[in-house]
Copies of this chain bind each other. A is one copy, B any other.
């Protein structure tokens, strides 16, 4: 049902996970030169198209992955198929639940994504060694916890209009990791169905709220996916 996987193999070459190291973000920034060199022997750079599964709920995890580019969505499903997106991962987040034998969520690429795959063993060795790597990973877990709790307020207490505004605001502030302030123009990395699953709404409601924001000149939309925030303050205001 989804497009075919294409592992692009321009990936195997960089001895160091360059873009990861270059930015000095994510966990690589916490490693010493020797650690970096050691782990880089195991890492592998891969590219994924939208809609590819990276880790499955309740399946053993073979490897961690550093998000270098793009957006990965974390989802959970109920037995009857109802789905909830429980998190979005942007660069330079680390993907994979540390110290758990199996994942508790499904991770799937939402947009075109670049990953730096790191096998389980070497990274966990670095972690249990303690020091800056474990610390960095803990800081990410704590940040994700904060974000999850923020989102719980959105899910539990906001109206549909506020939810959609909050989602757009979240993207504006998170989609470009190099940018400090909110971006005013970007492509939606999620389909209407994914947005609905993130917000606890239906696709119809999401669509209606988006057209309402467009009609009221808060945003502009081109080609369904390309969004321009015309009035960021107004958007902020509508987040509730």
Contact = CB atoms under 8 A, between A and B. Distances in A.
A153 B76 contact: yes
B80 A240 contact: yes
Interface in A150-176: 150-153, 155-158
Contacts of A105: 149
A121 interface: no
A148 B157 contact: no
Contacts of A79: 240
A209 B155 CA distance: 20
Contact of A134 (B134, B148, B155): B134
A200 B156 contact: yes
A9 interface: no
Contacts of A80: 240
A142 B78 contact: no
Contacts of A150: 76
Interface in A118-170: 128, 130-131, 134-135, 137-139, 141-142, 144-146, 148-153, 155-158
Interface string A88-100: 0000000001111
Contacts of A153: 76, 78, 84, 86
A205 to B, nearest CB: 13
Interface of A: 74, 76, 78-80, 82-84, 86-87, 97-100, 104-105, 128, 130-131, 134-135, 137-139, 141-142, 144-146, 148-153, 155-158, 197, 199-200, 240
